[in-house]
Structures are given as structure tokens and as C-alpha cells.
Amino acid sequence: MHTSLAQHARCLYGDDYRPTPACHLEHREHCFTEELTFADADAILVMLRELCPQVVDGRLPVWVRNLAYRLVVLQRPDEPALLREAAGNLWLHGPDWDGVAADLDRRADALEAG
């Protein structure tokens, strides 16, 4: 069993910044996806920030990043900085998601305006 979502992701996808831990578990993407789906926002953010600290890098697949940010935004819909972080991720991987990114930026603006 992995001790964290970040460790599970690191074992499955590798990491540009830390060595992949020695692990004897069988890694299946659907098991990681299930763990991600039910993880709390803090665990998801730790994973994103450890494995993709520069946002544009890292070995997490784009679909994992998008899902992770979606789950975090659903759990914390009233945090402008987090909405902007999620939007920034989508802007990098567009143009398919540019409309969603723009909406997240608008929501962050509205929250900051009060």
C-alpha cells in the first residue's frame, strides 16, 4: 500500500524531481484513478505540487492533471487562487479547455470582487 497519493502517482508515472521509490506493488492506472477520485483536496494538491512543481513539467499525464484540478475545484469552489491555478493548468493544455479556463478565471475575479 502506498502511504500517499503522491507516492502512488510517483510509482505509476515516475518523477522528474525525486527518484521513483522501490515498490513491489502491481501498479494499475484504474486503481490510482480510484484513489485520486476519492482523495481530499490537500492530498491532491500535494501530489500536483510534488510531481509538477513548475506546472509545465512533470510526468503526470494531462488527463490526470485535469481530473485532479477538477476534483480540487469541486471541493474548494470559493478559493480564487486555486481557481486561477486550475485555469492556468488548462490554458497550458488547450485550446480544447480554453472556455473552461476562462470561466474559472471569471469565477476567481468575481470572488475577489466580493
pLDDT in tens, 43-67: 999 999 999 888 788 889 999 999 9
Written as nine digits, the cell of 80 is: 480564487
Instruction: Tell me the per-residue pLDDT of 3-33, one tens digit each, with 9 for 90 and over.
Output: 899 999 998 998 888 877 777 777 789 989 9
Q: Is the pLDDT of residue 100 over 80?
A: yes
pLDDT of residue 23: 79
Q: Are 58 and 16 in contact (CB under 8 A)?
A: yes
Mean pLDDT for the stretch of residues 76-85: 97
Residues 6+ apart with CB under 8 A from 17: 50, 51, 53
- pTM more than 0.75: yes
The whole-number pLDDT of residue 57 equals: 81
